[in-house]
Amino acid sequence: MADSIYKVVELVGTSDTSWEQAAKNATETAGKSLKDLRIAEITKLDMKVENGKVVAYRAKVSLSFKYDTGD
């Protein structure tokens, strides 16, 4: 069995409905261009506030994927 290498990237997803949707948006969008996603870890949640009202939810997500070493 060959050794594996994984890369971790950090993304921020947004949604006007929920943190869950924000995290899903980040992960699924990344999945369109990154192959072999393995783990998505939500590292921070916050909200955008305008005029005293929540207008957007944001989720910072660390995603790991298998790094292609070209072997």
Give the tens place of pLDDT for each residue, 28-70.
999 999 888 989 999 999 999 999 999 999 999 999 998 776 6
pLDDT of the residue at 36? 85
What's the order of all strands across the beta sheet hosting 37-50?
6-15, 53-66, 37-50
pLDDT of the residue at 2? 65
Name the residue among 44, 21, 41 with its Cα closest to residue 29.
21
pTM for the full model? Answer: 0.83
Is the pLDDT higher at 22 or at 68?
22
42: which 2 tokens?
């939500």
Is the pLDDT higher at 71 or at 8?
8
User: Is the Cα dihedral 13, 16, 19, 20 positive or negative?
Assistant: negative
The pLDDT confidence band at residue 1, using thresholds 50, 70 and 90, is very low
